[in-house]
């Protein structure tokens, strides 16, 4: 049996450019820290530049040679996504890695600046637009990857009513989060199919952190937060451990397009990263294509593949 995959298995990243969304804290910060430690030039794409600057300073303090810069990105605004993508392309004619990590969870009903339900808007539509706008900088780069962070929640009450992108018919915060995480997987698999058809060197993969202690939990209803606090030692793992499936998807030379990584333990809650399976619905080809068309219409972004 092969030994557990750890951060020590991340290969040398010198010369690679990585963009990590939501990299000022939690999973994104840990991913950025490890990539920078292996020599990658890392862009911390964050909503709050001040927090991003503090995160960058923390990485450089621990790794003096680290090349880390901060890019303002508000995934709840398509104008901000377009502006950030243009700035990133101007600085980096080639991009090796895009990690779509940022997200919101269980927020009360609210909308993005463009009027979309916030969880679907940030977790999926914002990243759909960002990926489409950056993809041309990746398509000619051997070994380039798009890694999107999903969640076990894609199995729980995850509806498929993607036409109701504004949640005008009904809103349930748990179901809305599940829907957004299902969208992350549908997007990944459809993107990989298009990349394969185009014979592009870029691949698309997904990963999930299991149950990790991060700020993402801050909007969880109070009873669930109390329960989580009681069972935390048994269920939750650190952000550093939660980042390992993402890092493996992003850097393992043996990984290939369309794979999904998650923790190896029971119910994929904690443990070292391995290839896992997502829900049956996530592999539905018709649902993948329908979501893609809806996403193009909602964002106004079309892909070069």
Is 189 assigned a catalytic role? no
Strand partners, 290: none
- Residue 17, classed as helix, strand or coil, is strand
Identify the CA nearest to 179 among candidates 199, 196, 163.
163
DSSP calls for 80-148: HHHHHHHHHHHH-S---EEEE-----SPPS-B-TTS-BHHHIIIIIIHHHHHHHHGGGTTTSTT-EEEE
The residue from 106, 177, 189, 303 that is catalytic is 177
**Contact in structure between 34 and 59 (CB atoms under 8 Å):** no
- Give the Cα separation of 201 and 195 in Å (integer): 8
**DSSP codes joined into one string, 68-96:** EEEEE--TT-HHHHHHHHHHHHHH-S---
Contact 130, 154 (CB under 8 A): no
Half-sphere exposure of 70 (CA within 13 A, CB side): 19
Q: Decide: helix, strand or coil at residue 46.
A: strand
Catalytic residues: 177
């Amino acid at each position: 049996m092969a030994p557990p995959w750890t951060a020590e298995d991340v290969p040398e990243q010198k010369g690679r450019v990585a963009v990590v969304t939501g990299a000022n804290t939690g999973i994104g910060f840990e991913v950025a820290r490890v990539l920078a430690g292996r020599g990658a030039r890392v862009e911390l794409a964050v909503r709050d530049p001040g927090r991003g600057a503090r995160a960058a300073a923390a990485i450089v303090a621990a790794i003096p040679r680290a090349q880390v810069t901060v890019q303002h990105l508000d995934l709840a605004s398509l104008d901000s996504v377009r502006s950030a993508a243009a700035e990133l392309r101007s600085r980096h004619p080639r991009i090796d890695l895009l990690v779509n990590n940022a997200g919101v969870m269980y927020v009360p009903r609210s909308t993005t600046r463009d009027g979309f339900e916030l969880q679907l808007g940030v977790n999926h539509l914002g990243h759909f637009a960002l990926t489409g706008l950056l993809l041309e900088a990746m398509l000619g780069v051997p070994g380039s990857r798009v890694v999107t962070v999903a969640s076990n929640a894609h199995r729980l009450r995850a509806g498929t009513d993607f036409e109701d992108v504004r949640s005008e018919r009904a809103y349930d915060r748990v179901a809305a989060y599940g829907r957004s995480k299902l969208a992350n997987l549908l997007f990944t698999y459809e993107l990989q199919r298009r990349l394969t058809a185009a014979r592009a060197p870029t691949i698309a993969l997904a990963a999930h952190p299991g149950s990790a202690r991060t700020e993402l939990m801050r909007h969880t209803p109070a009873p669930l937060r109390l329960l989580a606090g009681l069972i935390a030692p048994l269920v939750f793992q650190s952000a550093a451990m939660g980042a390992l499936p993402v890092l493996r998807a992003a850097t393992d030379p043996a990984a290939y397009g369309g794979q999904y990584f998650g923790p190896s333990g029971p119910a994929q809650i904690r443990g070292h990263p391995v290839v896992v399976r997502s829900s049956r619905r996530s592999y539905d080809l018709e649902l993948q294509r329908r979501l893609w068309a809806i996403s193009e219409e909602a964002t106004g972004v079309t892909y070069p593949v």
